[in-house]
Amino acid sequence: MATGTQLDQARKSWNEFDIDAVRSVSWLAIESIGAGVHRFPPTGSVVSYIDRLLSDAFPDRRDQLKGAAIVCGDMEAERGIFEQVTSVAFREVDGFDLSDQSLERVRACAFRFNPKAMDCNDLVLEPETYDLIVAAHGIHHVFNVGGLFFQMNKALRPGGVLFIHEWIGPERLQIPRSNALLSRLLLQALFSRRERTTHENRIKGRFLQYGPDFFEPSEACNSTEIRRQLLKYFEIRSELAYGGLCYPMFEGLGRNFTGSRNSGESRIKVVVAIERWLTSSRLIEPLFLAGIYQKKPVWK
């Protein structure tokens, strides 16, 4: 469990963090990669499937739904899920995050937003309060993931939905050996030195990721437990495990493959296809999980 000093360090780091700069160079800013993350069976998209599940579950109160966003930062990764549904509407959303300054950066929403600055390791939620809970790139900053999923299960109404999009790879964002080897080979075989140069002028190849001591204390602090703890409390409706090659290869290179500079689309699609095959064959580890879930009836 994180100490008070570590929590203070994490809070300071996120209060001062330039998240917009990070998003501009993110691997998910590359259209060929990011588009695939949002395609879920049976409807094809995250939002449309969540919309259908919620519409079926709450036919009498479709325009009065309440949501929660867990470790939400400035809500840019979560707000679209709540705002883009069409058959239902959210009247309010509670947002929980350690960083009060991140919560202050939340832009005006289509719903009433209730910021709640707190440590989500100790989060206690009211029973059957929410219709949808969204956690996007935040749970891997929580050590007590079992307790957090327990609280989420308790807080969802029967028929409610959980959407998560999380790092599930090794702690401290480290890259597994087989993933790293193949990433280095593909980078040097398919991409030029210019294309491999990050926003920090590091050349991807031999370098893929900073060492564990580079990151603030909460970064991927208990990430390998996320899926195991999740499935204690939730049933899978649809999920995608991915990113085993694309993250180590393209994180930090997002702006090299966007707009007029995007000359690598066909080669990136080849990498995506190779990643899917190697992941399904269990030759590499997926590093991210995106999924839609509903609560198990564990409260008896």
Average pLDDT, the chain: 90
User: What pLDDT, in 10s, does the model give residues 30-89?
Assistant: 988 877 666 777 877 899 999 999 999 999 999 999 999 999 999 999 999 999 999 999
Torsion of CA 231, 27, 179, 225, to 10 degrees: -20
User: What pLDDT, in 10s, does the model give residues 230-288?
Assistant: 999 999 999 999 999 999 999 999 999 876 556 788 999 999 999 999 999 999 999 99
Residue 279 confidence (pLDDT): 95
- Give the domains, in start order, of the chain with CATH numbers: 4-295 (3.40.50.150)
Span 165-171, mean pLDDT? Answer: 97
Preceding peptide of 158 cis, ω within 30°: no
3-state class (DSSP) for residue 227: helix
Does residue 15 or residue 65 have the better pLDDT?
Answer: 65
pLDDT band (50, 70, 90) for residue 14:
very low
User: What pLDDT, in 10s, does the model give residues 179-231?
Assistant: 999 999 999 999 999 999 998 899 999 999 999 999 988 999 999 999 999 99
Q: In whole angstroms, what is the distance from residue 230 CA to residue 120 CA?
A: 15
Q: Global pTM? A: 0.91
- Whether the pLDDT of residue 149 is over 60: the answer is yes
Percent of the chain past pLDDT 90, that is, above it, reads 79
b/e 10-38 (16+ beta carbons within 10 angstroms → b)? bbebbeebeeeeeeebbbbbbebbeebbb
Cβ atoms of 257 and 174 closer than 8 Å: no
Cβ atoms of 147 and 233 closer than 8 Å: no
Instruction: Phi first, then psi: give them for residue 270, nearest 5 degrees.
Output: -65, -45
In 3D, which of 167, 196, 179 has the Cα closest to residue 267? 196
Does residue 164 or residue 11 have the better pLDDT?
Answer: 164
